[in-house]
Structure 1
Amino acid sequence: MRTTRTFPFRRPAAPAATPGSAATLTVDDLSVRYGGVRAVGSISFSVGPGESVGIIGANGAGKTSTLKALMGLVPRGGGSITLGGLDLTRVRARDMVRHGIGYVPEGRHVFPGLTVEKNLLLGAYARRWDAGTRATLAEVHQLFPVLGEMGQRLAGALSGGQQQMLSIGRALMSRPRILLLDEPSMGLSPKLVGEILSALTRLREEGMSLLLVEQNATLTFGATSHCLVMENGAVAMTGTSGELSRDVRVRRIYLGL
């Protein structure tokens, strides 16, 4: 039976750089180029406190490039990115977590030679080990019980779905103001996709700000309140997830029909 206990994820501490500011992510005219090739051109959107936004599109639409540009992992061609008033274009990628951004990369990228518990604790490297951090660890175990049960198992011995849960749990250990997820359903069975959807839905219900990049439109529509549909590096459509899930134009853009 589902517990009614409230997650602490809904009340993340404000980063020291912008104390007390609202955790609104604002992206304005962001562009990404690889050499002379434009991957993303002038994309704009925002994710408000407690809001969940999805970005869907076919392969090569520019979804992952957008997320990597937000994290500073690829060169930006222009535009502005702010979180609660902080200019993220001036923040190094390695410092993003200290400013309240949790990142779940495509392909999971857990540390296979370390235990599940150590992988999770690495997610809290920017925090002190205190009662608050221990409480966050307990909440991650509550969200994904298998991580608590397999705490001393090597991460490399987990299934793909369990590693995805570990990757999400590790990002949550920093108590992010917004969680960015890149293709969390990739390579997973329908059953495990359903479990990931349930976890993201629960985080959404508890007020976690989410930005989800996915090819799986069904998962995205279920886990988010609003969506952007990307095509050839640009935003082709925006709307509520419910509206877009019923729009025949999304099938044409997304599926090429």
Structure 2
Amino acid sequence: MNGGLVVSGLSVHYGGVRAVDSVSFTVGAGECVGTTGGNGAGKSSTLKALMGLVPRTAETIRFGDSDLTKVKARDIVRHGIGYVPEGRHVFPGLTVEKNLLLGAYVRKWKGPTLTTLGEVFDLFPVLGEMRDRLAGALSGGQQQMLAVGRALMTNPRLILLDEPSMGLSPKLIEDILAVLQRLRAAGHALLLVEQNAKLTFEATKTCLVMENGEVAMTGASQDLSRDPRVRQIYLGL
């Protein structure tokens, strides 16, 4: 798949426990794929494995022309993959602008970096308005936008997002959905891990439903949102 992500036989072990069991999927260029399921389903472990943050085995992890099984974790971002970790992990004692500029550490300064910074402020005007404010003073939703903006500063072709709605109010979850829809409209490929199945189905085109470290179901997000089993187990309907 030219320009896309191809994963096959991905497994993650924590001691004697297999958290992810031979998972396979693809994310095409410009495609938005969701991964949902309950706690302990293996969703976040899958993203961390792709970023090289946990021990893993895999037949294939290929992004475009790059074999990521041979790339160290610190270098994966240089291959065009941005990562928004669970819990946001912004630098609270630094300003919004400095948090964003830290996200551009893999790029050459100045012109291209400042151009991307302007694009992030265009995408998230509230960050531009608060560029000199400490990140620790932002609301949870604003910090999530900052975490997404920081990932965008690497100029990625694919963005991995881990539980972006965690700990947010229903209103802020709607704001995050709007952020994801803006990213889609801008042509970014997304791989979204999210326990909130409703948000996942609304934000993505294709979705994987994980259980016990395996892909239990896969298909078009709209179709899965209408599936009686998914509605009962994951939507509580």
The separation in 1 between residues aligned to 2:56 and 2:233, in whole angstroms, is: 25
The separation in 1 between residues aligned to 2:232 and 2:172, in whole angstroms, is: 28
Please give the TM-score of this superposition, normalised by the length of structure 1: 0.89
The separation in 2 between residues aligned to 1:206 and 1:145, in whole angstroms, is: 15
The equivalences for 1:157-168 within 5 A come to 157-168=137-148
Answer yes or no: is the 8 Å Cα contact 1:31–1:79 preserved in 2: no
Matched, 1:207 2:187: yes
> Structure 2: 5+ residue runs without aligned partners?
none
One-letter code aligned to 1:218: K
Instruction: State the partner residue of 1:148.
Output: 128
Matched, 1:176 2:156: yes
Answer yes or no: is the 8 Å Cα contact 2:197–2:235 preserved in 1: no
The equivalences for 1:24-173 within 5 A come to 24-173=4-153
The separation in 1 between residues aligned to 2:66 and 2:84, in whole angstroms, is: 21
Shift of 1:253: 4.3
Q: Which digits, 9 at most, give the CA deviation of each residue in 1:50-71, with x for residues without a partner?
A: 0000000001100000000000
Q: Which digits, 9 at most, give the CA deviation of each residue in 1:42-89, with x for residues without a partner?
A: 100000000000000001100000000000000003332000031101
The separation in 2 between residues aligned to 1:204 and 1:256, in whole angstroms, is: 27
Answer yes or no: is the 8 Å Cα contact 2:177–2:199 preserved in 1: yes
The separation in 2 between residues aligned to 1:256 and 1:220, in whole angstroms, is: 15
Matched, 1:237 2:217: yes
The separation in 1 between residues aligned to 2:172 and 2:118, in whole angstroms, is: 22
Instruction: State the partner residue of 1:189.
Output: 169
SS of the aligned residue for 1:181 comes to: strand
Shift of 1:203: 1.1
One-letter code aligned to 2:195: Q
Answer yes or no: is the 8 Å Cα contact 2:198–2:235 preserved in 1: no
SS of the aligned residue for 1:107 comes to: coil
Answer yes or no: is the 8 Å Cα contact 2:58–2:69 preserved in 1: no
One-letter code aligned to 2:101: L
The separation in 2 between residues aligned to 1:137 and 1:194, in whole angstroms, is: 24
SS of the aligned residue for 1:23 comes to: coil
Identity %: 72
The separation in 1 between residues aligned to 2:207 and 2:91, in whole angstroms, is: 32
Please give the TM-score of this superposition, normalised by the length of structure 2: 0.96
SS of the aligned residue for 1:54 comes to: strand
One-letter code aligned to 1:57: G
SS of the aligned residue for 2:119 comes to: helix
Answer yes or no: is the 8 Å Cα contact 2:31–2:189 preserved in 1: yes
The separation in 2 between residues aligned to 1:254 and 1:76, in whole angstroms, is: 27
One-letter code aligned to 1:165: M
Shift of 1:199: 1.3
One-letter code aligned to 1:169: G
Q: Which digits, 9 at most, give the CA deviation of each residue in 1:167-213, with x for residues without a partner?
A: 00000011101000000000111111111111111111221100000
Structure 1 runs of 4+ with >2 Å offset: 251-257
The separation in 2 between residues aligned to 1:102 and 1:70, in whole angstroms, is: 11
